[in-house]
Amino acid sequence: MKNKKEVIINILKQHPDGLTIQEISKLSGMSRITVTIYIHELLGEGKVTERKVGAYRLFYLKEKYLESVKEKEIIEKIKEKIK
Per-residue pLDDT of 37-67, as tens digits, reads 999 999 999 999 999 988 899 999 887 666 6
Total domains present in the chain: 1
CA 26 to chain centre: 14
Residue 1 or 55, more confident? 55
φ and ψ of 50, to 5 deg: -130, 155
Report in angstroms the alpha-carbon separations of 60 from 2, 30, 77, 79: 20, 18, 25, 29
Domain hosting 20: range is 4-82
CATH for 33? 1.10.10.10
Contacts of 51 (CB under 8 A, 6+ apart): 18, 57, 58, 60
**pTM of the model as a whole:** 0.76
Which pLDDT tens digit goes with each residue over 10-28? 999 899 889 999 999 999 9
